[in-house]
Structure 1
Amino acid sequence: MEKILDEQYYDLVVNNSSLTPDLSANITPINERESILHVYRGNTTDMCTVGKYLYHNFPTFLTLTSLISLNRSGVQSIQSNPYLALFGQGVLVGFIDTGITYQHPAFLHSDGSTRIARIWDQTIQDGPPPLNYTYGTEYTAENINLALESDSPLSVVPSTDTNGHGTAVASVAAGSIDEENSFSGVVPESDLLVVKLKEAKQNLRELFLVPSEAVCYQDSDVMLAIRYLVSTASLLNRPLVICIALGSSQNGHDGEGSTNTYLDYLTQSPQIGVSCAAGNEGSNRRHYYGSVTAPPYQDEIELQISARDTMFSMEIWSNSPAVLTVEIISPLGESTQIIYPRINNCSVYTFTRSQAVVWVNNYLLEQESGSQFILIRLRNPNEGVWSFRVQNINNENYTFHSWLPSGDLISNDTYFVQSSPSTTITSPGNAEHVMTITAYNQNNDTILLNSSRGYTRTGIVKPNLAAPGFELTCAVNSGGYGSYTGTGAAAAHAAGIMAMLFEWGIVRGNYTQVTGNDISNLLMWGAQCTISSIYPNNIWGYGTIDLQNLFDKLSF
């Protein structure tokens, strides 16, 4: 079995400079900077493996950012203008998600042939993988068309989307016109590239106490998916827009991390753009912000834990130069005592009056970000309010953040008693140069309450823009249409708009070396702002996308 699929191996994302020739059999390349190192772990889980290896080497978990009217963004007015009429011709829109229902009319030409150029299904191991990859199966447009002509399409191309999220997101961005059902994606004449992600390994879930049934993906597979989309677009010699409707609350919400830096590099390259969801963590009460300005320079985080959540992790990130200790106190009054920071250390505590076990890694220095970081993993915690007492050894003012996992990795019944909706933009949406999209209700011009809010922990302005994200019409697996809500849907809408601008700039020759970062800046320049608000801000970014307003400004 390939090691990237084998549960006896951890997948660690490492810098290529740390690799030696003798490790070549255990390496899957990602890009010029990083690779996946497959480390043998055997059949048992040692929870303190986190500590033996650097925290940032472990893949993060990404969750879905949508829950199963074009005029609001100025799309229809541009498409009805005979001198513009931008429908995405010549542009590829790539989706990294739960797959796609390729038989749906939303992804077919009028003659019944597919608009999908390629599918890489990471979950199917029966067919040939893409060139230079060792797992999954690649299906070309020719394969898909043969399937569509068959009486049993799935016997020819067995790739499916059992979740429906990927199908919905792809249709919002690029669904074909269906006049009978009054439906159209933003760029109905673009071509699609699709990656169906395999779900995160069980060994990684066990290590970070993620429920086995939770839908989530590891960012090492996402990075390989990004590489696949970019190399395929280069092979086809087409501009590419990547839509990422996934997000993670792991790491320091500072724009760092392997996936973030990879996307930052790409989006500053010509003919590649990225539209990324801001996340749906704004109203879930999963973020705590502490600001301590007086002796004894101590703060107490109160976390209400539900009986539904029998295992999960949380993270505490300090802002330099603070050096923090932590003490964990159960609802029954039991304490771990004070846990001091170390370079690499894993402490295990078993609470004698309950079945609760906690693992604490108090990293003095998290290597990638340079910040102090405390990882806390709990198994079988008592229901009730737990206290996490944080104190600065330096006896001076300090600030810090704490986050719980995103999406369905934890229930909404576990939450910080005194939470903050700010600084909840998920990764990779907090990458500096990625176009990060929040969602608003286009029917009444209000932000969706669950939309994540900025800024990043280091003050980068996020989100960049707001796009319609309330009950957008989308394709569903049954062959009909439904609606999707959330920042993932809004990011798909914005990805279609980015594809329109790539058609205008690259395909039509108006700006052939335009980058995704350029497109993001153009859209921020053309955004609509309300008079009563100051822009940019941590809720709306630079305002709502308005393509008509942008072209009005460009015509000056």
Structure 2
Amino acid sequence: MSKILDNSYYDLMISTALAPTYDTGDNITYLNRQNSLLHIPAGSGDPCDLGKHSYSSFPTLYNLASTISLEKSGVTTVQTNPYLALYGQGVLVAVIDTGIDYRHPAFLFNDGTSRILTMWDQTDQSGTIPNEFTFGTEYSREQINAALKSPDPLSVIPMTDVLGHGTAIASILAGSPNEQQGFSGVVPQSDLVIVKLKEAKPVLKKVSFVPENANCYQESDLILGIRYAVTVASRVNRPVVICIALASNQGGHDGRGAASAYLDHLALLPGNGISVAAGNEGNSQRHYYNSTLAAPYYNDIELRVGSSDTLFAMEIWTYAPARLSIDISSPNRESTQPVYPGLNQCRKFSFIFNKTTIYVNNIIFEEETGEQVILLRFSNPLPGIWYLRAQSPENEAFSFHSWLPAGSLLSNDTFFLNSSPDTTITSPGNARHQLTVAAYNQLNDSILPESGRGYTRTGQVKPDLAAPGFELTCAVPGGLYGTATGTGAAAAHAAGIIAMVFEWGIVKGNYPRLTGNDVNRLMISGAVRNPANTYPNNIWGYGQVDINRLFERFTSN
């Protein structure tokens, strides 16, 4: 078995420049020009392997950024926009997600053939591996059409989408019209590139303290999916818009993670559009911020832990030059005593009067950012209010952010008592040059309460724009239609508008050198701004996306 598929190996992120020094023939997987994977034996998956190996070498875990409902809302669709007759013709749109129901009418031409140009199923090892990759199965349009003609298409191509998220996102972006359902994707004449992500390795979930049954995906597989989309676009010499409707609360929320950095780089190249969900953590109470400017130089974080959350992690990120110790007290006042920052340390605390075990990594120098991060991993924590004291050993002023896991990785019963809704944009939404999309309710022009808020931890303006994200009509596996709500749905809507601009600029020859970042700036200049608000702001970014105003800027004198 390939080591990238073998759960007895960790996939550690390393610099591609260093890869040759580790290469023994089959233990390196190339991701992109910045990063590669080093596959090393995982043994039993000891939590303190994160300590022997750096925090940033373990891939971030992502989950889904929209909720799908089978209930047909009856809401008049907001997707259709015939302005300038731009339907995405000649543009590829790529969805890297949970797969797709390729048999759904939303992804077929009128003659019943597929609008999907190519699919890479990372979970299927039975067919032809894509060129330049090392696992999974690639399916061409010809193969998909052959499957569609078969009495049992799934016996020919077994691609399914059990969760329905990828199907919904792809349909909002590019679904074929269905008048009966009042439905159309934004660019129903674009060609689709689909990547079905494989589930994260159990051994990575184990070391990250993520429940074994949680649906989540590895950053390294996402990077490979992005590279696949770019490779396909290069092969057929067409512009591509990549939609990322996934979210993670891991990392420094500063755009410096591996996936964020890759998307940031691609958005500056001609013909690469990037639309990323801002995440749905705005009202989840999973972010805490403190600034302590005067003595005594400590701060007490109050964390309520619910009874169903028996395994989770949280992170504390400081600002240089501050250095913090951490002391953790349980609801019955057992304490770890202060843990001071150091290198390569992993401290295990087993509480005497309850079954709680806590692993503490107080990392003085996180390799990706150069900043201190404190990683706390809880196993069987006693339900109730926990107290975490962050303190400056030097008695200096300090400030820090803390985040709990995003989405379904945690129940709503675990949260910070004094939480902040700001700085809640998830990764990879914090990078600079991609389009990061918040979600609003298009029926009453109000932001969705869950929509992630900016700015980034380092003060970068994010989100960029808000797009419709409330009960958007979407395809649901099984030939059905339902609705999707959240910033993933909004990112899909915005991705369709990027594709329209690419069709106008690149395919029609009006501006062949357009980059994704160029399109973002055009969309920002054409956004609708409420006179009651100041822009940019950390909720709406630069306003509500408006395709008509965008093109009016091109055509007005």
**Structures share a fold, TM > 0.5?**
yes
Question: Distance between the aligned counterparts of 1:70 and 1:30, measured in 2?
Answer: 42
**Which segments of 5 or more consecutive residues in structure 1 lack a partner in the other structure?**
none
Matched position secondary structure for 1:23: coil
Amino acid at match of 2:477: N
Question: Distance between the aligned counterparts of 2:160 and 2:362, measured in 1?
Answer: 42
Alpha-carbon distance, 1:310 to partner: 0.4
Alpha-carbon distance, 1:18 to partner: 2.1
- Structure-to-structure mapping, 1:156-305, within 5 angstroms: 156-305=156-305
Matched position secondary structure for 2:59: coil
Alpha-carbon distance, 1:70 to partner: 8.4
Q: Any conservation in 2 of the 1:27–1:37 contact (CA below 8 Å)?
A: yes
- Structure-to-structure mapping, 1:9-20, within 5 angstroms: 9-19=9-19, 20=21
Question: Distance between the aligned counterparts of 2:485 and 2:179, measured in 1?
Answer: 22
2:394 corresponds to 1:394: yes
Question: Distance between the aligned counterparts of 1:63 and 1:319, measured in 2?
Answer: 27
Question: Distance between the aligned counterparts of 2:22 and 2:539, measured in 1?
Answer: 48
Residues 22 and 474 (structure 1 numbering): CA distance in 2 closer, same or farther, change over 3 Å? closer
Matched position secondary structure for 1:360: strand
Q: Any conservation in 2 of the 1:322–1:393 contact (CA below 8 Å)?
A: no
**Which segments of 5 or more consecutive residues in structure 2 lack a partner in the other structure?**
69-74
Question: Distance between the aligned counterparts of 1:280 and 1:45, measured in 2?
Answer: 31
- Structure-to-structure mapping, 1:258-407, within 5 angstroms: 258-407=258-407
Question: Distance between the aligned counterparts of 1:155 and 1:48, measured in 2?
Answer: 44
Alpha-carbon distance, 1:547 to partner: 1.0
Deviation readout 1:243-267 (Å, 9 max, x if unpaired): 0000110001011110011111101
Report the counterpart of residue 28 of structure 2 in structure 1: 27
Matched position secondary structure for 1:376: strand
Amino acid at match of 1:87: Y
Matched position secondary structure for 1:198: coil
- Structure-to-structure mapping, 1:76-95, within 5 angstroms: 76=81, 79-80=82-83, 84-95=84-95
Report the counterpart of residue 412 of structure 1 in structure 2: 412
Report the counterpart of residue 71 of structure 2 in structure 1: none
Number of residues of Structure 1 aligned to a counterpart in Structure 2: 549
Question: Distance between the aligned counterparts of 2:345 and 2:260, measured in 1?
Answer: 27
Report the counterpart of residue 541 of structure 1 in structure 2: 541
Alpha-carbon distance, 1:40 to partner: 1.0
Question: Distance between the aligned counterparts of 1:202 and 1:155, measured in 2?
Answer: 28
Residues 279 and 24 (structure 1 numbering): CA distance in 2 closer, same or farther, change over 3 Å? same
Question: Distance between the aligned counterparts of 1:281 and 1:189, measured in 2?
Answer: 33
Deviation readout 1:92-130 (Å, 9 max, x if unpaired): 000000000000000000110000001100011111110
Amino acid at match of 1:439: A
Matched position secondary structure for 1:135: coil
2:117 corresponds to 1:107: no
Report the counterpart of residue 532 of structure 1 in structure 2: 532
TM-score, normalising length: structure 2: 0.97
Deviation readout 1:214-269 (Å, 9 max, x if unpaired): 11001000001111110011111110000000011000101111001111110100
Deviation readout 1:122-158 (Å, 9 max, x if unpaired): 0111111101222111111001000110110001111
Matched position secondary structure for 2:207: helix
Worse overlay, 278-287 or 394-403: 394-403
2:145 corresponds to 1:145: yes
Matched position secondary structure for 2:533: coil
Question: Distance between the aligned counterparts of 2:465 and 2:433, measured in 1?
Answer: 13
Question: Distance between the aligned counterparts of 2:535 and 2:368, measured in 1?
Answer: 31
Q: Any conservation in 2 of the 1:330–1:386 contact (CA below 8 Å)?
A: yes
Question: Distance between the aligned counterparts of 2:279 and 2:24, measured in 1?
Answer: 37
Question: Distance between the aligned counterparts of 1:122 and 1:282, measured in 2?
Answer: 31
Alpha-carbon distance, 1:432 to partner: 0.9
Deviation readout 1:410-436 (Å, 9 max, x if unpaired): 111100000000001000011111100
Sequence identity percentage:
56
Matched position secondary structure for 2:24: helix
2:24 corresponds to 1:36: no
Report the counterpart of residue 451 of structure 2 in structure 1: 451
Question: Distance between the aligned counterparts of 1:175 and 1:511, measured in 2?
Answer: 26
Q: Any conservation in 2 of the 1:439–1:468 contact (CA below 8 Å)?
A: yes
Report the counterpart of residue 509 of structure 2 in structure 1: 509
Provide runs of 4+ in structure 1 moved above 4 Å: 69-73
Alpha-carbon distance, 1:208 to partner: 1.1
Question: Distance between the aligned counterparts of 1:364 and 1:341, measured in 2?
Answer: 5
Report the counterpart of residue 124 of structure 2 in structure 1: 124
- Structure-to-structure mapping, 1:486-525, within 5 angstroms: 486-525=486-525
Alpha-carbon distance, 1:483 to partner: 0.5
Alpha-carbon distance, 1:367 to partner: 1.4
Question: Distance between the aligned counterparts of 1:215 and 1:395, measured in 2?
Answer: 42
Matched position secondary structure for 1:466: strand
Amino acid at match of 1:339: V
Question: Distance between the aligned counterparts of 1:511 and 1:346, measured in 2?
Answer: 54
Q: Any conservation in 1 of the 2:77–2:183 contact (CA below 8 Å)?
A: no
Amino acid at match of 2:36: S
Amino acid at match of 2:285: R
Alpha-carbon distance, 1:396 to partner: 2.1
Question: Distance between the aligned counterparts of 2:351 and 2:407, measured in 1?
Answer: 28
Matched position secondary structure for 2:402: strand
Question: Distance between the aligned counterparts of 1:127 and 1:553, measured in 2?
Answer: 48
Question: Distance between the aligned counterparts of 2:127 and 2:509, measured in 1?
Answer: 39
Question: Distance between the aligned counterparts of 1:280 and 1:253, measured in 2?
Answer: 14
Amino acid at match of 1:165: H
Alpha-carbon distance, 1:394 to partner: 2.7
Question: Distance between the aligned counterparts of 2:252 and 2:176, measured in 1?
Answer: 39
Q: Any conservation in 1 of the 2:123–2:136 contact (CA below 8 Å)?
A: yes
Amino acid at match of 1:183: F
Alpha-carbon distance, 1:72 to partner: 6.1
Worse overlay, 476-485 or 107-116: 476-485
Deviation readout 1:383-432 (Å, 9 max, x if unpaired): 00001100112312211000000111111110000000000100001111
Question: Distance between the aligned counterparts of 2:103 and 2:537, measured in 1?
Answer: 42
Q: Any conservation in 2 of the 1:70–1:186 contact (CA below 8 Å)?
A: no
Amino acid at match of 1:205: K
Question: Distance between the aligned counterparts of 2:546 and 2:25, measured in 1?
Answer: 49
Amino acid at match of 2:28: I
Q: Any conservation in 1 of the 2:77–2:184 contact (CA below 8 Å)?
A: no
Deviation readout 1:509-545 (Å, 9 max, x if unpaired): 0110100000001000110000010000000000000
Q: Any conservation in 1 of the 2:78–2:472 contact (CA below 8 Å)?
A: no
Amino acid at match of 1:550: L
Question: Distance between the aligned counterparts of 1:477 and 1:504, measured in 2?
Answer: 32
Question: Distance between the aligned counterparts of 1:223 and 1:492, measured in 2?
Answer: 19
Alpha-carbon distance, 1:17 to partner: 2.2
Amino acid at match of 2:379: R
Q: Any conservation in 2 of the 1:61–1:217 contact (CA below 8 Å)?
A: yes
Q: Any conservation in 1 of the 2:22–2:38 contact (CA below 8 Å)?
A: no
Matched position secondary structure for 1:18: helix
Question: Distance between the aligned counterparts of 2:491 and 2:145, measured in 1?
Answer: 29
Q: Tell me how large the CA RMSD over aligned residues is.
A: 1.1
Q: Any conservation in 2 of the 1:117–1:140 contact (CA below 8 Å)?
A: yes
